[in-house]
Amino acid sequence: MTHGSYNPYENAQSQFDRVAEIIGLDEATRVLLRQPMKEYHFTIPVHMDDGSTKVFNGYRMQHNDARGPAKGGIRFHPQETVDTIRALSMWMTWKCAVVDIPLGGGKGGIICDPRNLTENEQERLCRGWVRQLAKNVGPFIDVPAPDVMTNGKHMLWMLDEFELIHGGRFPGFITGKPVGMGGSLGRTEATGYGLIYTVREALKSFAMRIENTSASIQGFGNVAQYAAKLYQELGGTVVAVSSWDNTDKKAYTFRKKSGLDIPALFSITDPFGSIDKNKAGDLGCEILPEDAWIEEEVDILIPAALENQITLENVGKISKQVLLIAEGANGPINTDADEIIRKSGMFVIPDFLANAGGVTCSYFEQVQSNANYYWEKDEVLQKLDAQMTSAFKAVKETAKKHDLYMRDAAYVISINRVAQAVKMRGWV
């Protein structure tokens, strides 16, 4: 998940410090906002199917809830780290603020590899996570959601355990639930679609038609899949996708210069976003090394896998043709590489704006669950489009007005909104 000495939390704090200086934030507010307000570290003993017991490490960080309950995903990953979760909780605060929804930032995780766990073992793990946190989360305190290698099934197990403990029905406790069990229509597509809504608006500002553009994507999990789907439906050409191959235990880039068949790729992808290399060859894809995605001569790069993927080692491989990078993942460009991209003049849609469609639709799900009233899919996606478009335009206008890099402009809006909430509550 991290490479070398890279620390995502230090990266998140560095980004924050830069903008805190720009806006002249006072020292007390800086100290408060550059770290989580609450952290929970705990162990989860799980009875395995073979009769043994294995102990897993679990976490939940609540960065700031001045604007509303903490909100953020729970990821399962064998290389999860405490500092990754701290960084992600911080980015969630800015993400909720930039799209102006009344939630704060949180994040959770368990160090595990669900690909090596049976379904029964995954269920026990989910329930154990909730048992450790049942008094510290809830629909009006902290609302979890899916993240890397978690899905609606995991969320429903967690909801069921929370309701068993508290003796009632609390569908607003968690989002990303299956449709029909309190989940929202459109939630599956939300993060990927939201990303493409911002790409569409960026291309409009360049006076470019999406039909005349091409893209290369890193990752093929939920975000990348639906970003690729909508981008292709709007007329764009996806030239390459980088994805993990679970058989070989390594990643490859799958390329087709005339354009990949995204629905066909869906059909040979497992629930964790791993493309079957052999079947990809049958679809006419070239099988290239993992990092080939970043070298493609395309207009748009979409890093939508994990953090720290564009670094000093590979940033120079980005083609001169690339006009736009849309960060589907959280923190995919490290600080050093970001300085190079910033100076190049390349347009970047920062992560906590580009991928905010997921938390926006999670907010819609929370509202629907708490009200016990559910919207049609078209209504959800229309609301999502309006929210993402409005947020993008506000960031773009701030960047233009103050001659700022898009990332800095997004931070200016977010930090000012959170700082104002903190001050109005009398915390500083």
- Catalytic sites, residue numbers: 107
- Cα 270 vs. chain centroid, distance in angstroms? 19
- Report d(CA 105, CA 330) in Å as an integer: 13
β-strands 104-111, 53-64: how paired? antiparallel
- The DSSP bridge partners found for residue 45 are 55
- Report d(CA 344, CA 138) in Å as an integer: 45
SS3 321: coil
Given a contact cutoff of 8 angstroms between Cβ atoms, the answer to whether 199 and 300 are in contact is yes
Residue 233: exposure state from Cβ atoms within 10 A (0-12, 13-18, ≥19): exposed
- The number of residues making up the chain comes to 428
Angle between helix axes 335-344 and 8-23 (nearest 10 degrees) is 50
| Residue 420: CB atoms within 10 Å | 14
